[in-house]
A and B are shown apart, each in its own frame.
Chain A
Amino acid sequence: MSKASNQYSAKNEVSNTHVRRTIFQRSLISLSKAPFTAWLGMIIVSSYFFVAIFAPYLAPYGEAQIFKVPYAPWDNVHIFGTDRLGRDILSRLIYGARNTMGIALTTTFLAFLIGVGLGLLSAILRGWVDQILARFVDILMAIPSLIFALMLLSIFGSTALNLILIIAVLDSTRVFRLARAVGMNVVVMEYVEAARLRGEKISWIMGREILPNILPPLVAEFGLRFCYVFLMIASLSFLGVGIQPPTADWGSMVRDTGELIQFAAYDVTAAMTPILPAAAIGILTIGVNFVVDWFLYLTSGLKDEHQ
């Protein structure tokens, strides 16, 4: 060993530097190792988004276009037939992706904005702010959310905006709980104390010190929340207070075509009609969950156990 390497130098201390990789390169590495279920999930979710974005080009007919024959059977003109007003089922399924997913996505974003903002505020300030917010959330959570949403929608009317606002507020309570709990673990870290000692504003502490460190569980929760919101909108639509006609939506499509199921003995394809929107909901939920599971596995560090 040479003499020089025995001299102490701060620069030469052993440290585990990582290979510099861009986010793109890192994603490629993760993707190349993704399990089959994750791939399946990603394919499902991205194809749904594709359909939602390009709905007007993919759909053979208009969203609310009415044809002469109601309840038309499956054939070449109307691949999945028509509903009781004579609207093309396939077109409505395609537009339904856009409406249901668009509203669900907006609602989830809003729920996270409210939930994470207030949750972190609670975690940082503690004291009476925390008490008031947390108790208010407890009250909201004590009421079953579907029934609460039904009630509020009947009071304020079922417009898309009301739907988004009401579900977002109700769902933000779950997000609040999570953000507050994981935020609490970060708030006690010394770097947050150091930021306070520096005199930083609360917005800096929330956005720059805490948020980057709690992102993985929040992203995972976002996926799950999206599913719940999506199912809730579908349920509300099925009950008739969600997305209103003529806007196409999978929940209300199940309700509208539901009675066809009793004709299974005479025409199997007709009985399949209400299954289609239901399956669309189910498959997306499964796909999102596959992706979320994989993401949680990547970020949780549990994988070290199995190497």
Chain B
Amino acid sequence: MSTSKKSRSLLLNIRNISIEGYSDEAWHPIIKGVDLQIKRGEVLGLIGESGAGKSTLGLAAMGFVRAGCRFTGGSISFEGKDLTKLSEKEKQKLWGTKFSYVAQSAAAAFNPAHTLLNQTIESSLSHNLETKENLKKNAVKLYREMQLPNPEEIGDRYPHQVSGGQLQRTMTAMAMTSKPDLIIFDEPTTALDVTTQVNVLATIRSIVKEHQTAAIYITHDLAVVVQMADRIQVLRYGETIEVAKTNQMLKSPNQEYTKSLWAVRSIQKKPQKKEDTILKIESIDASYDSGPMVLKNIDINVPTGRTVAIVGESGSGKSTTARSITGLLPPTNGKIIFQGRKLPARLSERSKEDLRRIQMIYQSPDTSMNPRHTVRDIIGRPLKFYHGVVGNRYTEKVIELLKMIELDESFIDRLPEELSGGQKQRICIARALAAEPDLIICDEVTSALDQIVQEGILKLLLRLQKELKISYIFITHDIATVKAIADEVVVMHQGSVVEQGLKKDIFSPPHPDYTKLLLSSVPEMDPKWLTRILTQ
């Protein structure tokens, strides 16, 4: 076959590309002279923290820049043509035939008003690649390859009638219909649960290999990229830090920065022995309005000054448990005992003092801080509200809190949009600390952040716990985070507690079936992990 010869030839060659973005009345560099080569049939992993320019570079590989951005230098050569010089019309001919793009959120990328099949073949049809019948047949074949259930019929469904994982696979099938030379995957599994992610990764990998399609795989999850990529390119601040074969980069990264990326999953908290209980949840049930029960007979104990991690996939009732504890969703049954006293079920019945003692930090700092309030207002409000701090003391206290979270007074007048993701989450932590609480509920506080930033936040939380003796309930679906921070672990599945105990007991066999599945689905930093888990 000619594929082996073909696979060695260079498909795309990006030389010294520079891209600028427009904001604040001026052009700012986003990509500063990056080279990128990709051969036929090769999978290149593009990693880096958010703001590194991964997505911008990924789109640039198709000759595309987002609105408000422009190319300022360099060349992108594909089949002897420089994409930066082509007209919009010429590029449109290439898009959807030679190039395809798989976006992060399949749910947002599909049109809810059309069936999956029609959307799958839409772009190939508009480029007149083949007849409608052939395209349909081909799509069904791809659905089968993507291991979608009922490949003949699933195409007649609408996007809301299939699960998130299925939708992401359909989107990959859609990208494959035109038999492109290059597919760009932009964080295709980030929005999925670990248990779903495994299947999607496996199907993407096999279909790319089967069709000898080249791919750029963009992600911030190192363990994932290690499974998928032949070669890895590390970006930071719009520049290439390092490019190397996956194995080589894993074994001996050259740059300090790459090493630090690899070292992230190294925090391990030593579990400490139990003391007295600060929060005791006794067999609570809960449901939204009069719908089905979403929490069934939950019992959880939180020891004073310790961390209890609640793990489980989405829909398992983790966040609902948090809402019940805070009183936003009063439980229909059972009691919540806090510091030896039964808490009123409803938020409106709790005293200011009750509210002060339990604080909450949310997953997305973007939506949990008012975009129109400055850092001073955000951190200062609980100080004023609970402790009556005003005047000079107010600013002093705010700065004191900023220092506690390793920021300084230069941040005091910023708005949330002027902070990075990690800084935002730190401000949310400071807001919780300002109330001087005894218990903080952290709902997926690190899952929207880059690895290296996650590490910083986790270290901060651990330090604060040591200094202030705060107890945490840490809700997460990320097992690495649990290992880093928890003393005790609660595994939840479909609204019930599967298992609860000390971290070392939960993470060592024997496991109940569900815990086993959950633990085995967590990607590891071993290129053979996915292959191994699939053969098991």
- Listed in ascending order, the chain A residues whose CB lies under 8 Å from chain B are 1, 3, 6, 8-11, 13-19, 29, 189-191, 193-194, 196-200, 208-209, 212-213, 304-305, 307
* Residue from A18, A196, A307 in contact with B347 in the complex, judged by beta carbons closer than 8 Å: A196
Could you list 11 A-B pairs, sorted by A, with CB under 8 Å?
A10-B405, A10-B426, A11-B408, A14-B51, A193-B328, A197-B360, A199-B352, A199-B385, A200-B385, A209-B370, A213-B371
Q: Within B410-451, which residues are at the interface with A (CB < 8 Å)?
A: 414, 417-423, 426, 431, 435
Please, how many angstroms separate the alpha-carbon atoms of A172 and B69 in the complex?
43
A197 in contact with B456 (CB, 8 Å): no
Is B256 among interface residues, defined by CB-CB distance under 8 A? yes
User: Which B residues are CB-close (under 8 A) to A212?
Assistant: 370, 372-373
Give the distance to chain A from B326, nearest Cβ to Cβ, in Å. Answer: 6
Is B68 among interface residues, defined by CB-CB distance under 8 A? yes
B406 in contact with A17 (CB, 8 Å): no
Please, how many angstroms separate the alpha-carbon atoms of A130 and B198 in the complex?
45
Please, how many angstroms separate the alpha-carbon atoms of A196 and B346 in the complex?
12
Is B369 among interface residues, defined by CB-CB distance under 8 A? yes
Is B514 among interface residues, defined by CB-CB distance under 8 A? no
Q: Within B387-407, which residues are at the interface with A (CB < 8 Å)?
A: 405-407
* Residue from B24, B405, B426 in contact with A18 in the complex, judged by beta carbons closer than 8 Å: B24
B256 in contact with A8 (CB, 8 Å): no
Give the distance to chain A from B450, nearest Cβ to Cβ, in Å. Answer: 9
Type the 1/0 row for B351-373, where 1 means its CB is closer than 8 Å to any CB of A.
01001000110101001111111
Is B452 among interface residues, defined by CB-CB distance under 8 A? yes
Please, how many angstroms separate the alpha-carbon atoms of A198 and B379 in the complex?
12
A10 in contact with B67 (CB, 8 Å): no
* Residue from B49, B355, B431 in contact with A199 in the complex, judged by beta carbons closer than 8 Å: B355
A10 in contact with B367 (CB, 8 Å): no
Q: Given A199-B352, A307-B22, are A17 and B414 also a contact pair (CB < 8 Å)?
A: yes
Is B224 among interface residues, defined by CB-CB distance under 8 A? no
User: Which B residues are CB-close (under 8 A) to A14?
Assistant: 49, 51, 237, 420
Please, how many angstroms separate the alpha-carbon atoms of A190 and B369 in the complex?
7
Give the distance to chain B from A202, nearest Cβ to Cβ, in Å. Answer: 11
A305 in contact with B360 (CB, 8 Å): no
Q: Given A8-B452, A8-B455, A14-B420, are A198 and B385 also a contact pair (CB < 8 Å)?
A: yes
Please, how many angstroms separate the alpha-carbon atoms of A66 and B251 in the complex?
100
B372 in contact with A13 (CB, 8 Å): no
* Residue from B24, B385, B420 in contact with A13 in the complex, judged by beta carbons closer than 8 Å: B420
Type the 1/0 row for B170-211, where 1 means its CB is closer than 8 Å to any CB of A.
000000000000000000000000000000000000000000
Please, how many angstroms separate the alpha-carbon atoms of A29 and B26 in the complex?
13
Is B334 among interface residues, defined by CB-CB distance under 8 A? no
Is B382 among interface residues, defined by CB-CB distance under 8 A? yes
A11 in contact with B347 (CB, 8 Å): no
A197 in contact with B347 (CB, 8 Å): yes
User: Which B residues are CB-close (under 8 A) to A305?
Assistant: 67
Q: Which residue on B lies nearest to A194, using beta carbons?
A: B368
Give the distance to chain B from A305, nearest Cβ to Cβ, in Å. Answer: 6
Q: Which residue on B lies nearest to A211, using beta carbons?
A: B372
Q: Given A189-B367, A304-B68, are A11 and B385 also a contact pair (CB < 8 Å)?
A: no
Q: Given A11-B407, A14-B237, are A191 and B367 also a contact pair (CB < 8 Å)?
A: yes
Is B453 among interface residues, defined by CB-CB distance under 8 A? yes
User: Which B residues are CB-close (under 8 A) to A197?
Assistant: 326-328, 347, 355, 359-360
Q: How many residues of B are in contact with the other chain, CB < 8 A?
A: 54
CB-based closest 9 A-B pairs = A13-B420, A212-B372, A15-B420, A190-B368, A6-B256, A14-B51, A191-B370, A199-B355, A190-B367
* Residue from B51, B257, B359, B406 in contact with A10 in the complex, judged by beta carbons closer than 8 Å: B406
Q: Which residue on B lies nearest to A210, using beta carbons?
A: B370
Q: Which residue on A lies nearest to B457, using beta carbons?
A: A10
A6 in contact with B352 (CB, 8 Å): no
A10 in contact with B418 (CB, 8 Å): no
Is B23 among interface residues, defined by CB-CB distance under 8 A? yes
Give the distance to chain A from B29, nearest Cβ to Cβ, in Å. Answer: 12
* Inter-chain CB contacts under 8 Å: number: 96
User: Which A residues are CB-close (under 8 A) to B23?
Assistant: 16
Please, how many angstroms separate the alpha-carbon atoms of A1 and B418 in the complex?
25
Q: Within B30-51, which residues are at the interface with A (CB < 8 Å)?
A: 49, 51
Please, how many angstroms separate the alpha-carbon atoms of A246 and B521 in the complex?
84
A8 in contact with B456 (CB, 8 Å): yes
Give the distance to chain A from B66, nearest Cβ to Cβ, in Å. Answer: 9
Give the distance to chain A from B146, nearest Cβ to Cβ, in Å. Answer: 34
Is B90 among interface residues, defined by CB-CB distance under 8 A? no
Most chain B C-beta atoms within 10 Å of own C-beta, residue among A6, A9, A29: A6
Give the distance to chain A from B414, nearest Cβ to Cβ, in Å. Answer: 7
Give the distance to chain A from B305, nearest Cβ to Cβ, in Å. Answer: 22
Most chain B C-beta atoms within 10 Å of own C-beta, residue among A15, A196, A208, A304: A15
A304 in contact with B382 (CB, 8 Å): no
Please, how many angstroms separate the alpha-carbon atoms of A1 and B460 in the complex?
27
Q: Which residue on A lies nearest to B428, using beta carbons?
A: A194
Q: Given A8-B452, A190-B367, A209-B370, are A13 and B423 also a contact pair (CB < 8 Å)?
A: yes
Type the 1/0 row for B281-310, where 1 means its CB is closer than 8 Å to any CB of A.
000000000000000000000000000000
A17 in contact with B260 (CB, 8 Å): no
A18 in contact with B418 (CB, 8 Å): yes
Please, how many angstroms separate the alpha-carbon atoms of A209 and B260 in the complex?
40
User: Which A residues are CB-close (under 8 A) to B456?
Assistant: 8, 10
User: Which B residues are CB-close (under 8 A) to A307?
Assistant: 22, 67-68
Give the distance to chain A from B378, nearest Cβ to Cβ, in Å. Answer: 9
User: Which B residues are CB-close (under 8 A) to A194?
Assistant: 360, 362, 368, 431
User: Which A residues are CB-close (under 8 A) to B260?
Assistant: 6, 8
Q: Within B192-239, which residues are at the interface with A (CB < 8 Å)?
A: 237
Please, how many angstroms separate the alpha-carbon atoms of A137 and B415 in the complex?
37
Q: Which residue on B lies nearest to A189, using beta carbons?
A: B367
A213 in contact with B68 (CB, 8 Å): no
A29 in contact with B25 (CB, 8 Å): yes
Give the distance to chain B from A144, nearest Cβ to Cβ, in Å. Answer: 35
User: Which B residues are CB-close (under 8 A) to A18?
Assistant: 24, 417-418
Give the distance to chain B from A177, nearest Cβ to Cβ, in Å. Answer: 23
User: Which A residues are CB-close (under 8 A) to B327?
Assistant: 197
B362 in contact with A11 (CB, 8 Å): no
* Seed contacts A10-B460, A197-B360; 5 additional CB < 8 Å A-B pairs: A8-B452, A11-B407, A189-B367, A194-B368, A197-B347
Please, how many angstroms separate the alpha-carbon atoms of A197 and B439 in the complex?
14
Give the distance to chain B from A80, nearest Cβ to Cβ, in Å. Answer: 47
Q: Which residue on B lies nearest to A5, using beta carbons?
A: B257
Please, how many angstroms separate the alpha-carbon atoms of A185 and B372 in the complex?
15
User: Which A residues are CB-close (under 8 A) to B22?
Assistant: 307
B419 in contact with A15 (CB, 8 Å): yes
Is B91 among interface residues, defined by CB-CB distance under 8 A? no
Is B381 among interface residues, defined by CB-CB distance under 8 A? yes
Please, how many angstroms separate the alpha-carbon atoms of A181 and B452 in the complex?
40
Q: Which residue on A lies nearest to B354, using beta carbons?
A: A199
User: Which A residues are CB-close (under 8 A) to B386?
Assistant: 198
Q: Which residue on A lies nearest to B432, using beta carbons?
A: A194
Q: Given A6-B257, A14-B51, A17-B418, are A191 and B455 also a contact pair (CB < 8 Å)?
A: no
User: Which B residues are CB-close (under 8 A) to A8?
Assistant: 260, 452-453, 455-456
Please, how many angstroms separate the alpha-carbon atoms of A190 and B414 in the complex?
20
A11 in contact with B455 (CB, 8 Å): no
Q: Within B2-39, which residues are at the interface with A (CB < 8 Å)?
A: 22-25
User: Which A residues are CB-close (under 8 A) to B418?
Assistant: 15-18
Q: Given A6-B257, A13-B423, are A213 and B453 also a contact pair (CB < 8 Å)?
A: no
Please, how many angstroms separate the alpha-carbon atoms of A194 and B362 in the complex?
9
User: Which A residues are CB-close (under 8 A) to B381?
Assistant: 198
Most chain B C-beta atoms within 10 Å of own C-beta, residue among A9, A29, A199, A212: A199
